[in-house]
Amino acid sequence: MTTTLLTNIGELTTNVAAGGDPLGTVHDAALLMADGRIAWIGQAADAPARGQDATIDAGGRAVIPGFVDSHTHLVFGGDRADEFEARMAGTPYAAGGIRRTVAATRAASDEELRLRLQRFTTELHGQGTTTFEIKTGYGLTVADEERLARLAAEVSGEVTFLGAHVVPAEYAERRDEYVELVCGEMLRACAPHARWIDVFCERGAFTPEEARRILAAGAERGLGLRVHGNQLGPGEGVRLAVAAGAASVDHCTYLDDADVAALAGSQTVATLLPGVEFSTRQPYPDARRLIDAGVTVALASDCNPGSSFTSSLPLMIALAVREMGMTPAEAVWAATAGGARALRRDDVGALAPGMRADVVMLDAPTRVHLAYRPGVPIVQTVWVGGRAVTPEPSAR
């Protein structure tokens, strides 16, 4: 049994709501990690004086739960920096760019993709992300989608089958056949590696009818449902996600009142991805309107080579506060507990006895610094399941 006491925490965010504070903030706190779980949380003055293997002094710093990034596309080959450069010069973003990454991903070996996934894992951990979902969707053949799902499952338990990312070029004139393939053979090959199915419901990708069919096939195989909706314009994505009982509908950039009302009365989380609006020069989603209507909001990176090539949840928090009307506390909640809700997980996204010891110490006195100091690497130490994945401060 390995036990570590983290003490002298100036501001501890637990996300266990208390006394009107949804973030369950504790000042002058301590927490004990034992065998990968949180064993105890309380006032530093009440912490066990001895008995643990190591004691780490947080020096008054802020500690938060690890970030839960519920939306990434980390398994791909190639690079689209040229597309980004053209976009900044005025070329609009279009879903068709996905096909370029499909070609590069099909050409990449398992070893190349594996190495990249390992590097991304290190990159995410270093920025405080301790749980991350990964979507397939850059293979779009049965063999390639199965390969991407299998490789993603080597680094994450949250794998999403996204064969319905875009209709691949070779099926451009036979889209019905492609939808048939996604719902049949491709789904059968990928489902053993996946927990979720997702569909990009948007002009240029899949129609609402196709999306409903694909989600129904996934549900029949026992997969949970997610939807990319209302990213590039208004549409039925949000409402069909709610009607299907999806765990999350992601993007939610273009919403009308009926979309907001549907979300507010549902168990579907609205996952906002401000890295996309930042990187495609689109208007940001209105988080304030959603939160005020009672919708559960999550923040995620959407890390992918086309629309948002960043894995930084601190950046998402800063954008959500600066551009989307969220308070720093709401944004931190959305990137931790919100992400956990979007993945229907109750063992991560908060710090309470029995939960996974996914803990982030900031080199800052308060979580507000995540928005207040944009671009500054204030994530100092990260523990995943009680194990430090960044250099640990010296213990005593």
DSSP per-residue letters across 325-346: ---HHHHHHHHHHHHHHHTT-S
Tell me: does residue 306 bind ligand NIG (CB under 6 A): yes
Member of 97, 139, 218, 274 binding ligand NIG (CB under 6 A): 97
Min dist CB 231 to ligand NIG, Å, is 5
Min dist CB 73 to Fe ion, Å, is 6
Task: Return the number of the residue (134 or 362) whose C-beta is nearest Fe ion.
Answer: 134
As a whole number of angstroms, the distance between CA 157 and CA 132 comes to 8
Task: Return the number of the residue (200 or 254) whose C-beta is nearest ligand NIG.
Answer: 200
220: its two tokens: 């029949």
Task: Return the number of the residue (224 or 306) whose C-beta is nearest ligand NIG.
Answer: 306
Mask for 42-71, x = binds ligand NIG (CB under 6 A): ------------------------------
Name residues contacting ligand NIG, limited to 254-293 (CB under 6 A).
Answer: 276
Residue 387 identity: R
Name residues contacting ligand NIG, limited to 66-95 (CB under 6 A).
Answer: 73
Q: Which residue is nearest to Fe ion (CB)?
A: 302
Task: Return the number of the residue (11 or 236) whose C-beta is nearest ligand NIG.
Answer: 236
Beta strand residue intervals within the chain, DSSP E: 3-13, 25-34, 37-43, 54-57, 62-65, 67-69, 129-132, 134-135, 159-164, 196-201, 224-229, 248-251, 269-272, 297-299, 359-362, 379-384, 387-388
Task: Return the number of the residue (24 or 168) whose C-beta is nearest ligand NIG.
Answer: 168
Tell me: does residue 341 bind ligand NIG (CB under 6 A): no
Partner that binds at residue 266, options ligand NIG, Fe ion, none, CB closer than 5 to 8 Å by kind: none
Partners of 54 in beta bridges: 4
Contact by Cβ (8 Å): 66, 358: yes
Tell me: does residue 101 bind ligand NIG (CB under 6 A): yes
Residues engaged in binding Fe ion (CB under 5 A): 302
Burial class (CB in 10 A: 0-12, 13-18, 19+), 344: middle
Q: Which of 234, 76, 216 is nearest to 148 (CA)?
A: 76
375: its two tokens: 């671009």
As a whole number of angstroms, the distance between CA 60 and CA 364 comes to 8
Name residues contacting ligand NIG, limited to 210-229 (CB under 6 A).
Answer: 228
Q: Which residue is nearest to ligand NIG (CB)?
A: 306
| Sole residue written with tokens 């049965």 | 142
Min dist CB 47 to ligand NIG, Å, is 43
Distances from the Cα of 311 to the Cα of 125, 129, 134, angstroms: 10, 9, 12
Min dist CB 317 to ligand NIG, Å, is 19
- The residue ranges that bind ligand NIG (CB under 6 A) are 73, 97-98, 101, 200, 228, 231, 276, 302, 304-307
